[in-house]
Amino acid sequence: MASVTLSRRAVLTIGGAVALSGSAVFAQTTRVAKIGLVQSTTGGSAALYGIQQKQAIELAFAEINAANTLKDIKLEAIHADDGADRGQTVNIFQRLIRQDKVVAILGPTLSNSAFAADPIAQQAGIPVIASSNTAPNLTKMGDFIFRTSIPEDQVFPTVLRYAVQKRGIKKVALIYGLDDALTRGAHDVQKKAVTELGLEQVGIESYQRGDVDFSAQLTKIREQKPDAVILGTLAEEAAAILRQARQLGFDDKITFIGCNANISAKLFDLAGPAADGIIVGASWFEGYDSPRSKAFVAAYQKRYGSSPDIYAAQGYDAAYLLAEAIRRADDVTNSRLTRDKLASISDFEGVLGRFGWSADRDATVQPKVLIGDGKSKVFVAAATS
């Protein structure tokens, strides 16, 4: 009996040795760059953005690996879900950096999580590229923090200037969600842009998350007779405001100007024809007319059977930017070198267009002004010239 066990052990040993030597040979020919992918796939509405980014980034890595763009380097995404809970984001960052020894991190989904977790990466010298954080001052946390999600303050001034030029707007009213970091941040930017353009601000109204009836605020706004109403709202709230404004008999000449968060198919589903003519600004939209963008939309639809949103596009570009940095560094473990190479990329041809980094490591994407078409339920690019 004993001899049988022994021989079995011997077989295992030999087998193990063979397997080990096999992997050793394999390791000589390919190097694996481990990349942390921190996106919420559970935890309420954050999961909607997180899943889109995760899918787009995994699509990008699959394409890069299949095309052998990085020759002997393979990209491996280690995904971890933080459930939109900041404590977990910090847990994940520490584990990815200390245990999995990733060379870079893509994420996290929420700005709040980034404020808590990014300093850990900064301290450890691991580059981070965010593709959905839009909070102001995010990249000021350190020189290892990058983002492809352009914040509201790079988009909204362009949008407002367009509206002023085309529609002759002079008096504006603002409405925003008081208790949501996204809408509050958008409102701050909008207010600043209004002041800078010298427009008359006739009123500011606010509401809290979960509110569905905006008639009190809208009635007040109607009395103030603005030329435009500026929305610092989420898509569902924007839709309700648009619909209720029509019901309250708002003049058709009053222009509604939305923020980044309003660019969603949900806006049209919920507002219907009331969304006609709303002006918004974005770094990208599904109908964006560029070969790179069209190829991305097609590939995404083929792989996942659904349409990518703006966060997917930003995540996809983040993945390609990181791959380019790793290619230039030609190293799968040196995160500082990867960071330097990433920072050196300029004139990147991405889904969002051609862009580089600003001094604060924000993507310098040309914002696109979009107008809602309530009938065909899409945003169309406005003629900016």
Partner 1 sequence: MTDLFYAYHNVIDLCLLNSMLAFGCFILLGVNLFSLATGGLMAIGAYLSIWLTMQQGWSFAPALTAALVAASLAAFGLGSLVLRLRGDYFTMATLAFTEVVRIIALNWDSVTGGALGVFGIPQLTETWQLAGLLALVIYLIWAVRHSAVGERMRAIAADELAVSTAGHDVARFKLALFTASGAIAGLGGGLAAHLNMFIAPGDFGFLRSVDTVIAPVLGGVWNLAGPVIGASVLVVLPEALRFSAQMREILIGVTMLAVVLFLPAGLVGLPKLSRRRAAS
Q: Which is nearer to partner 1, 276 or 360 (CB)?
A: 360
Q: What is the dihedral of CA 302, 303, 308, 312, to 10 degrees?
A: -140
Question: Two tokens at 307?
Answer: 């349409």
Nearer to partner 1, 51 or 73 (CB): 51
**Which of 325, 354, 324 has its CA nearest to residue 337?**
325
**Least separation in angstroms between CB 78 and partner 1:** 11
Nearer to partner 1, 142 or 273 (CB): 142
Task: Return all residues near 240 (Cβ < 8 A) that are at least 6 apart.
Answer: 212, 214, 270, 271
- Shortest distance (Å) from residue 42 CB to partner 1: 5
Binding site for partner 1 (CB under 8 A): 41-42, 80-81, 83, 85-88, 90-91, 94-95, 97-99, 112, 115-117, 119, 135, 137, 141, 178-181, 183-185, 188
Q: How far is CA 5 from CA 9, 15, 17, 91, in A?
A: 6, 15, 18, 43
Minimum CB distance to partner 1 smaller for 190 or for 293: 190
Say if residues 203 and 231 touch (Cβ distance below 8 Å): no
Q: At what angle do helices 111-124 and 86-98 cross, to 10 degrees?
A: 20
**How near is the Cβ of 168 to partner 1 at its closest, in Å?**
33
Which residue lies nearer to partner 1 by CB, 83 or 277? 83
* DSSP class of 141: G
Burial of 69 (0-12, 13-18, 19+ CB in 10 A): middle
Cα 264 to chain centroid, rounded: 13
Closest CB to partner 1 among residues 58, 180: 180
Q: Least CB distance from residue 301 to partner 1, whole Å?
A: 22
Residue (of 112, 58, 57) closest to 83 by Cα position: 112
3-state SS, residue 150 = coil
| Integer-rounded Cα radius of gyration of the chain | 24
Closest distance of CB 260 from partner 1, Å:
16
Q: How far is the CB of 131 from partner 1 (least distance, A)?
A: 20
Q: How far is the CB of 139 from partner 1 (least distance, A)?
A: 13
Q: Which is nearer to partner 1, 184 or 246 (CB)?
A: 184
By beta-carbon proximity to partner 1, the closer residue of 102 and 159 is 102
Residue 39 CB, nearest distance to partner 1 (Å)? 11
Structure tokens that stand for 61 in this block: 């890595």
Say how far apart CA 263 and CA 370 lie, in whole Å.
Answer: 9
